């Protein structure tokens, strides 16, 4: 429907588009109520259209890799890795999306290098964004906090102290396959504590430990997985928003 005085109806058409430049009939963007940022004590609040995967109360959206109930501890508004209970994954599958989560390494420092506050955020159960306590804890660069494990170190080390809450904001574009062939690789943008540490980075393969893996065709939507690396890392306020275009 025409919206008077909002735009123009005598301007050129945008190439490949039914809309004119400043078209007065082009619909308004849909409204989303923004969330709030994570505080040192309190979790952030998800935006109004987010799909919440963990709100601090229970693991009903998560399961163990064998399909049994997730065994991590829930207390004080967060979940905590119960060492050696295994990785957990979401029951629902995610495709291209924006993901937010908050995590904290144990405040009691134990171990060093890869043994300190290690966990991981595995997109589609295959592509790991490293979670690690790299506050005064050097390790191999492509395994540091926020590294795309075994592929790309983060642009900078934006770690907070162990025990402090930290944020990951991820923009994930899943790989595409044509039959068994890779059509386009996965791409990831990551903000660690609000700082860009990967910008539209192309993954050359699923991430691996001491190995170069190869893309293997998988569905366009897969679960999100969190890693049990035998360190009691905490997570809270996990949500995502499917990436949809303006017209979808």
C-alpha–C-alpha distance, residues 197 and 190, integer Å: 6
Nearest approach in angstroms of CB 122 to Mg ion is 9
Nearest approach in angstroms of CB 79 to Mg ion is 16
Q: Please, what sign has the CA dihedral across residues 167, 139, 87, 123?
A: positive
Closest to Mg ion by CB, 120 or 153: 120
Helix, strand, coil percent values for the chain (each to nearest 5) = 0, 35, 65
C-alpha–C-alpha distance, residues 248 and 220, integer Å: 17
One residue of 120, 153, 154, 223 binding Mg ion per CB under 5 A:
120
| Residues touching Mg ion, count (CB under 5 A) | 3
Closest to Mg ion by CB, 50 or 81: 81
Nearest approach in angstroms of CB 154 to Mg ion is 14
C-alpha–C-alpha distance, residues 4 and 164, integer Å: 52
What would the x/- binding string for Mg ion be over residues 194 to 233, using CB under 5 A?
A: ---------------------------------x------
3-state SS track over 182-215: EEECCEEEEEECCEEEEEEEECCCCCCCCCCCCC
Closest to Mg ion by CB, 50 or 99: 99
Nearest approach in angstroms of CB 179 to Mg ion is 32
Q: Does 43 bind Mg ion (CB under 5 A)?
A: no
Closest to Mg ion by CB, 119 or 237: 119
Q: Which residues contact 157 (CB under 8 A, 6 or more apart)?
A: 134, 144, 145
Closest to Mg ion by CB, 50 or 121: 121
What would the x/- binding string for Mg ion be over residues 76 to 115, using CB under 5 A?
A: ----------------------------------------
Burial class (CB in 10 A: 0-12, 13-18, 19+), 227: buried
Q: What residues make contact with Mg ion under the rule CB under 5 A? A: 118, 120, 227
């Amino acid at each position: 429907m025409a919206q008077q005085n909002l735009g123009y109806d005598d301007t050129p058409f945008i190439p490949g588009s039914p809309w004119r430049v400043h078209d007065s009939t082009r619909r308004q963007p849909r409204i989303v109520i923004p969330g709030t940022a994570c505080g040192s004590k309190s979790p952030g609040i998800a935006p109004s259209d987010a799909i919440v995967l963990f709100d601090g109360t229970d693991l009903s959206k998560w399961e163990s890799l064998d399909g049994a109930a997730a065994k991590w501890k829930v207390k004080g508004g967060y979940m905590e890795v119960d060492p050696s209970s295994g990785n957990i994954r979401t029951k629902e599958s995610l495709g291209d999306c924006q993901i937010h989560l908050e995590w904290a390494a144990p405040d009691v420092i134990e171990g060093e290098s890869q043994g300190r506050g290690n966990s991981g955020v595995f997109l589609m159960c295959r592509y790991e964004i490293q979670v690690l306590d790299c506050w005064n804890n050097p390790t191999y660069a492509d395994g540091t906090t926020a590294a795309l494990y075994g592929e790309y170190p983060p642009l900078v080390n934006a770690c907070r102290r162990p025990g402090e809450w930290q944020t990951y904001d991820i923009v994930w574009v899943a790989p595409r396959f044509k039959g068994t062939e890779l059509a386009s690789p996965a791409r990831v943008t990551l903000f660690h504590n609000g700082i860009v540490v990967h910008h539209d980075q192309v993954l050359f393969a699923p991430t691996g430990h001491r190995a170069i893996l190869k893309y293997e065709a998988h569905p366009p939507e897969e679960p999100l997985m969190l890693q049990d690396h035998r360190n009691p890392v905490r997570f809270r306020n996990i949500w995502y928003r499917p990436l949809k275009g303006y017209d979808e």
